[in-house]
Amino acid sequence: MKKIEAIIQPFKLEEVKEALKAIGVDGMTVTEVRGHGRQKGHKEVYRGQEYMVDLLPKMKLEMVIPAARLDEVIKAVVGAARTGKIGDGKIFVYDVVDAIRIRNEDRGEATL
Amino acid sequence: MIRFLIGILALAGTLFAQGDAAKIAALEAAVAAAQSAGDNAWMLTSSALVLLMTGPALALFYSGLVRRKNVLGTMMQSFILMAIVTVLWAVVGYSLAFGEANAFIGDLRYAFLAGVDGAPNATYAATIPHQTFMVFQLMFAIITPGLICGAYAERMKFSGMVLFSALWLLFVYCPMAHMVWGNGGLLNAYLGGKIPSFDFAGGTVVHITSGVSALVTALYLKPRKGYGVEPMMPHSLVLSFIGACLLWVGWFGFNAGSALGSGSLATSAFVATHFGAAAATVGWLIAEKLRSGKASVLGGISGAVAGLVAITPASGFVKPMPALLIGFVAGIFCYYMVAVVKHKLGYDDSLDAFGVHGAGGTLGAIMTGVFATNAVNSALKDASGNPAALGLVDGNGGQIVNQAIGVAIAWLLAAVGTLVILKVCDLTVGLRASDEEERQGLDLSMHGEEGYSHEL
């Protein structure tokens, strides 16, 4: 099993979800996060006081998938989330040791 | 209203048969009752509008400008004043402001509101119940210490804030209100003041006292932890926007209500108020656009408030075009005070109570001396009974000096009084929240609540 953690532009969430649904991946956890990589922030001014806002809003998608489907899923996420500009985000892939369905204690890929 | 008119007609009908003198007397009484009914309706409405300026308007305006961990604490600072100032006003505050002892402070004749009832007090307002006048003035006494909250936002202990506000009301607000509006007050142009100064709705009494006290408080308390290092952005300009728009509406009660009646003077003050706010919005936004490149929402609403502040002392004395000018100048001036001067001097007047109310109030008080005219307000008579020349535009340039003296007295009383009261509070209940409480936020540390729940 592999865990995919994709940090994407907030406005790309729907397209990514659609792309994953199209290849039959339904389970995911989405979190609103803030962060930055190479993308520069922006300036905000309140009554003459300037603030550099360098932590920008992003969406973090987490999903665990059978290892055999990894390339296919990455391709779907990249295809849907890419605009070609700085700030499109990143995908991290981890090995998953086990998974347990809380309802009935199923284990392993059967839970996915 | 219809029933009332039928009553008058019936009365006139029955009197037709009687003697002329009795008929005229009865009609005069009916006319006086009609005027009183009209004036009282507007004054009660105005009183409610002025209360609305504190809660929710000021509470929303200020609480949107703080960080989210202080949203409730900041709202509470406005709201608690609606309670404690009311109690103090009933017990002794009204009497200290509007009792009649000397030029500086009232006596105790109205303590516990003795004799303040449905009959008018002809000295102050002959056509409305004395009780209406009292409650209208109360709403001013509530918002004035509320404005100071902007300077100590996000770092004042609740107990310290309550004690400070109570003492400040009695020893700064009440004397200043007496000097400007009380019978025999030093600066009262209409009731025997030695230095006649014009302040229609509280440029000195409300905005200079609160604004200067705000500056002193900000300097005394020192900046918030992390000021200038951590970002301290407004957590919700949405709240501030709603608050500012409600302030604009409430201000019609504040200024047009200060006519103490529902006649044409109230209309004139209403128009001047609106024009001042509009022009100041434009002024602030132009200054901001030129300096920082964008016309911001916060800039727009701050400009409106600055204009409302500056037009307050002038509102019942100036024509619409000078009102536009006063507002426009105030918008630019207050922007400069807030965006440039504050950062140069380094004090943390967190929500700009001084930059808007102190600076705008001072500007407005002086400009009142320039543009006040008896074409708008002819209540003041000269020795031969004609309307007196009011400001420079009427040929009375010396009025600017009187206005400046009024401003100086307000500054002095506010600065010295506030410093002494801060010291007293600091040595007794304490003023500043501990570092831990400040970091945690006032919502949780002072009130045990959170404005926004993470779980829901």
∠ CA(B350), CA(B136), CA(B115), 5° rounding?
130
CATH number reported for the structural domain that contains residue A46 in this entry: 3.30.70.120
Q: How far is CA B188 from CA B123, B370, B409, in A?
A: 12, 18, 13
The pLDDT value recorded for residue A36 is: 83
Of the candidates A46, A50, A53, the beta carbon closest to that of B234 is on: A46
Per-residue pLDDT of chain A (112 residues; tens, 9 = 90+): 999 999 999 999 999 999 999 999 988 999 999 988 877 778 889 998 888 888 888 999 999 999 999 999 999 999 999 999 888 999 999 999 999 999 999 999 888 8
The pLDDT value recorded for residue A53 is: 85
Helix (H, G, I), strand (E, B) or coil at B95: helix
- Report the distance separating Cα B160 and Cα B422, nearest Å: 9
Count of all residues that appear for chain B in the document: 456
Give how far B141 is from chain A: nearest CA, Å.
28
Residues of chain B positioned with their CB less than 8 A from the CB of A51: 231, 233
Say if the Cβ atoms of A48 and B340 lie within 8 Å.
yes
Residues of chain A positioned with their CB less than 8 A from the CB of B299: 47
Angle between helices B71-88 and B158-168 (to 10 degrees): 40
Provide the domain count of chain A. Answer: 1
The pLDDT value recorded for residue A50 is: 86
Query: Closest chain A residue to B227 measured between Cα atoms?
Result: A49
Q: Which of B233, B345, B349 to mutate to test the interface with A (most CBs of A within 10 A)?
A: B233
A49-56, long-range: CB < 8 A, 24+ apart = A49/B339, A49/B343, A50/B292, A51/B231, A51/B233, A53/B231, A56/A87
CB A20 within 8 A of CB A28: yes
Give how far B238 is from chain A: nearest CA, Å.
14
Does any CB of chain B come closer than 8 Å to the CB of residue A94?
no
Q: How far is CA B351 from CA A53, B169, B196, B211, B250, in A?
A: 20, 21, 33, 11, 20
Query: Which strand (E) or helix (H) includes residue A43?
Result: strand A42-46
Beta strands, E only, B359-444: none
Residues of chain A positioned with their CB less than 8 A from the CB of B339: 47-49
Does any CB of chain B come closer than 8 Å to the CB of residue A43?
no
Q: Establish, for the pair of chains A and B, how many residue pairs have beta carbons separated by less than 8 Å.
A: 29
CB A85 within 8 A of CB A7: no
Token pair 């204009």 in the structure block, residue = B307
Does any CB of chain B come closer than 8 Å to the CB of residue A41?
no
Does any CB of chain B come closer than 8 Å to the CB of residue A51?
yes
Domains in chain B with CATH codes: 2-447 (1.10.3430.10)
Q: Residue A107 has which token pair?
A: 């284990």
pTM, entire model: 0.88
Range of the domain at A54: 2-111
Measured in degrees and rounded to the nearest 5, phi and psi for residue B446 equal -95, -30
Per-residue pLDDT of chain B (456 residues; tens, 9 = 90+): 567 667 666 666 665 556 889 999 999 999 999 999 999 999 999 999 999 999 999 999 999 999 999 999 999 999 999 999 999 999 999 999 999 879 999 999 999 999 999 999 999 999 999 999 999 999 999 999 999 999 999 999 999 999 999 999 999 999 999 999 999 999 999 998 999 999 999 999 999 999 999 999 999 999 999 998 888 999 999 999 999 999 999 999 999 999 999 999 999 999 999 999 999 999 999 999 999 999 999 999 999 999 999 999 999 999 999 999 999 999 999 999 999 999 899 899 999 999 999 999 999 999 999 999 999 999 999 889 999 999 999 999 999 999 999 999 999 999 999 999 999 999 999 999 999 999 999 999 999 999 997 655
Per DSSP, A64 falls in state: E
Does any CB of chain B come closer than 8 Å to the CB of residue A84?
no
Query: Which strand (E) or helix (H) includes residue B37?
Result: helix B20-52
Residues of chain B positioned with their CB less than 8 A from the CB of A44: 233
The pLDDT value recorded for residue B455 is: 54
